[in-house]
Amino acid sequence: MKPLPTEFFAADAVSVARDLLGRQLLSVVDGETTGGVIIETEAYVGEQDTACHASRGCTPRTQVMYGPPGRYYVYLIYGMYHMLNIVTASEGTPEAVLIRALHPQQGKAVMCARRGGQCGQNLTNGPGKLCQALAVDKRFNSLPVTHPELYLLPGEPPDPVCILSTPRIGIGYASEADQRKLWRFLLRSSRGQ
DNA sequence: CACGCGATTTGG
DNA sequence: CAAATCGCGTGT
């Protein structure tokens, strides 16, 4: 199957965040294929969005968000967890989508091992957890989404009625108005995923 | 160059 | 409820 092209991400982060639900994220690291279906995302929308890292301008860390869409923005948080984002919009417009959760599909045993033996629901149900499970770290920062070691497949776009939107998580430092934005998107859990 | 803290996870 | 743990952004 053909990977999602970089052009897919040349749209506003909110639209891309919604459109990424139901898509597949695959990692091929150390000869192991791991991944699953994206079931939770968040949009971070430029310098005016006080929850977005780019709200403090272009810095060494945020530089990739100012580049062309369709590249990974990976950073370290709390000194120990990585966060996987995909840059959207257009060059000079620093927007990105955070991948927050997957429904595990490929390489569950490997993901289990990378997660310290934890399995089941605990494999990829968090932005730090899924990076651990897929062996995603800063070496993917600024690489294109068509990279052979980390890429996306079209999957099956969900029925819009299955998409929930809520406020974003863990952004207490942002303005109240930005905290209230419904820019977190989830796929309503259903059987058979 | 020193300081403070975070788009989280885990264990108590 | 608090610790873990360090790169980055900010101000000196």
User: What pLDDT shows up at residue A121?
Assistant: 87
Give the whole-angstrom CA distance, residue A129 versus residue A85.
14
- The gap between A14 CA and B4 C1' (Å) is 31
Both tokens of A124, joined, read: 């990829």
CA distances in angstroms from A111 to A7, A50, A138, A152, A175, listed in the order given? 29, 34, 18, 17, 36
A120 touches strand C (CB under 7 A): no
A56 touches strand C (CB under 7 A): yes
Helix (H, G, I), strand (E, B) or coil at A98: strand
User: What pLDDT shows up at residue A47?
Assistant: 98
- The gap between A7 CA and C3 C1' (Å) is 42
User: What pLDDT shows up at residue A175?
Assistant: 97
- The bases of strand C with some atom under 7 A from any protein CB are 4-10
Angle at A158 between CA A100 and CA A180, to 5 degrees: 45
- The gap between A192 CA and B5 C1' (Å) is 41
- Lookup: nucleotide whose C1' is closest to A100 CA: B7
On whether the pTM is more than 0.75, the answer is: yes
Instruction: Convert the pLDDT of each residue in A59-97 to its tens digit.
Output: 999 999 999 999 999 999 999 999 999 999 999 999 999
User: What pLDDT shows up at residue A83?
Assistant: 98
Both tokens of A61, joined, read: 């860390």
A27 touches strand C (CB under 7 A): no
pLDDT < 50 stretches in chain A: 191-193
Instruction: Convert the pLDDT of each residue in A53-63 to its tens digit.
Output: 999 999 999 99
The two counts, helices (H) then strands (E), for chain A are 4, 8
What is the share, in percent, of chain A residues with pLDDT greater than 90? 93
